[in-house]
Chain A
Amino acid sequence: MAPTVPLEEAYLAHRDRLLRFLRARGAGEAAEDLAQELWLRLAAAPDPAAASGLGYMMRAADRLMIDRYRSERQARSRDKAWAEAQPGMADGIAPAPGPERDLAAREQMARVERALEELGPRVAAILRRHRIDGLTQRAIAAEFGVSLSTVESDLRRAYARILAIREEGD
């Protein structure tokens, strides 16, 4: 096996590229802080040898930004729900999952279920295999006995439908 570069050395070697990627991903002025957060995540990776690869680091940076978007969005909707429920109260306190949130989750589930029905059993099964079971498109093509391009177009159709129903819900 090829000798692996120590994780910290690899991170430092790729740091400029990672910073550029974080900025491209919308990190703005927080890029340095986010790079630091990225380093903490990498340092905590279960397999440091794997984590020292550029691809792994880029993916982790992408993940970091998606997580950041998610927490900002959820904070916004929490704040909104909180402000609506208790006008004048302090921000930043997470409310317990209330009936409104349960309802939103149920609505979301109903929308996804409806979308899957519209898409048909094959597309729904392929979507599940890819998103939930984590199979690659290639593995799915082999399993379903269809071409890679069929899997890709099925997934694209499913995604487009999911994005569309989200817009209906928003």
Chain B
Amino acid sequence: MTTDQPIRDAALTWAMATRAPDFADWDGFALWLEADPARAATYDAVQYALEEADAALAVLPEPEPAPDPANDNPPGWLAARRTWLGGAIAASLVVALTSVLWFAPGGETLYRTAPGETRLIALADGSTVELAGGSTLALEGARAARLEQGQALFTIRHDAADPFVLEAGGERLVDAGTVFDVRLAGETLDVAVAEGAVIVDPRGEAIRLDPGERAVRADGRFRLAEVDAAAVGEWRRGRISFDTASLAEIAAELTRATGTRFSSSDTATRLSGSIALDAVRADPQALEPLLGVRITRSDDGWVIAAR
């Protein structure tokens, strides 16, 4: 089998993607195939080779090393997943009852970042929190935290017996093995999951967020939306996204992320989109073409207005 390496790499990527039970991009796959008849043949050859190897794999003796006793689920544990989730929720209830003590003054550590600054916090259990600019996070040990303002990306080592609990804007979030991003701006709370799952408000609505899912609380109610799981926490790579955000909200986000002061009194004009911060840092007026707005200089920063 001699095939064009780029085609084979792409065919392998599609073979991996289509294997996921929730794969949905069949049209995208068809478009890729249609561009060159050699692609379908290569994809078939890749699938065939992998399935041939499965036959060998299935009869070879299984290697011993179990990853981690705590996570060593017996085969077929997927079938029991719901029960296990129930367990996670139940465990979080216990945490909820004791949380009054958890946040008692004295035991917590406060982390604060200036606008434009980011900070990586390593927790004792190997979990990490990356704090975005203009944010405040209170940590109590390694398994409880409270986001007071701003945004943070949590990469949490999961322990079903001791779930990580985050409070943000009066809401309680419980992880279930997780990379998730939380943004709190005023009363708006935005939770997006990249890996694992997060349970929002386990005592009440118990909204489960899986990778690629996002819950936004505005006006006291949660709205569920989709998010590109790969884009969760993208602010770490100097990019921020807006989803029907008002110009006033965008100005506040930009201030927090860049450290340059932006303001806007416009709460009616709403925009969606994504911006690379480098361009904005270099020249705030670059926002004009990027967002289709007008940027003017003010005494202490920049004013964003609708065009």
Chain A residues close to B by CB (< 8 Å): 17, 20-21, 24-26, 54-55, 58-59, 62, 65-66, 69-70, 73, 105, 108-109, 111-113, 115-116, 121-122, 124-125, 127-128, 130-133, 135-139, 141-145, 147-148, 152, 155-156, 159-160, 162-163, 166-167, 170
What A residues does B60 contact at CB under 8 A? Answer: 109, 112-113, 116
Bound CA–CA A9/B121 (angstroms):
55
- CB-nearest residue of chain A to B70: A145
Q: Which of B2, B51, B54, B195 contacts A148 (CB 8 A)?
A: B195
A-contact 0/1 string along B47-68, CB 8 Å cutoff: 1111111111111101101011
Quote the shortest CB–CB distance from B51 to chain A (angstroms).
Answer: 7
Q: Is the CB of B73 within 8 A of A65?
A: no
Chain A CB within 10 A, most for which of B16, B40, B51, B53: B53
Q: A21-B30, A55-B23, A138-B195 are in contact. Are A113 and B40 (CB under 8 A)?
A: no
What B residues does A136 contact at CB under 8 A? Answer: 20-21
Q: A20-B30, A142-B196, A145-B158 are in contact. Are A132 and B48 (CB under 8 A)?
A: no
Q: Is the CB of B63 within 8 A of A148?
A: no
Q: Which of B48, B67, B195 contacts A144 (CB 8 A)?
A: B67
Q: Is the CB of A24 within 8 A of B56?
A: no
What B residues does A144 contact at CB under 8 A? Answer: 67-68, 71
* Pairs across A and B, CB under 8 Å, 10 listed: A17-B27, A25-B44, A109-B59, A112-B57, A112-B60, A122-B65, A141-B195, A163-B8, A163-B12, A163-B50
Q: A112-B60, A131-B57, A138-B211 are in contact. Are A160 and B179 (CB under 8 A)?
A: no
Q: Which of A108, A147, A155 contacts B52 (CB 8 A)?
A: A108
Bound CA–CA A65/B51 (angstroms):
14
The main secondary structure of chain A at its interface with chain B is helix
What B residues does A73 contact at CB under 8 A? Answer: 48
- CB-nearest residue of chain B to A111: B56
What B residues does A125 contact at CB under 8 A? Answer: 63, 65, 67
Chain B CB within 10 A, most for which of A66, A132, A167: A66
Q: Is the CB of B33 within 8 A of A24?
A: yes
Q: Which of A113, A122, A128, A155 contacts B62 (CB 8 A)?
A: A128
Quote the shortest CB–CB distance from A62 to chain B (angstroms).
Answer: 6
Q: Is the CB of A155 within 8 A of B16?
A: yes
- CB-nearest residue of chain B to A135: B78
Q: A24-B33, A26-B37, A136-B20 are in contact. Are A55 and B26 (CB under 8 A)?
A: yes
Q: Is the CB of A142 within 8 A of B177?
A: yes
Chain B residues close to A by CB (< 8 Å): 1-2, 8, 12, 15-16, 18-21, 23-24, 26-27, 29-31, 33-34, 37, 40-41, 43-60, 62-63, 65, 67-68, 71-73, 75, 78, 155, 157-158, 177, 179, 194-196, 211
Bound CA–CA A148/B16 (angstroms):
13
Q: Which of B52, B57, B63, B73 contacts A143 (CB 8 A)?
A: B73
Quote the shortest CB–CB distance from B62 to chain A (angstroms).
Answer: 7
Bound CA–CA A156/B33 (angstroms):
20
Q: Is the CB of A65 within 8 A of B65?
A: no
Quote the shortest CB–CB distance from A143 to chain B (angstroms).
Answer: 5
Bound CA–CA A79/B298 (angstroms):
81
- CB-nearest residue of chain B to A131: B54
- CB-nearest residue of chain A to B196: A142
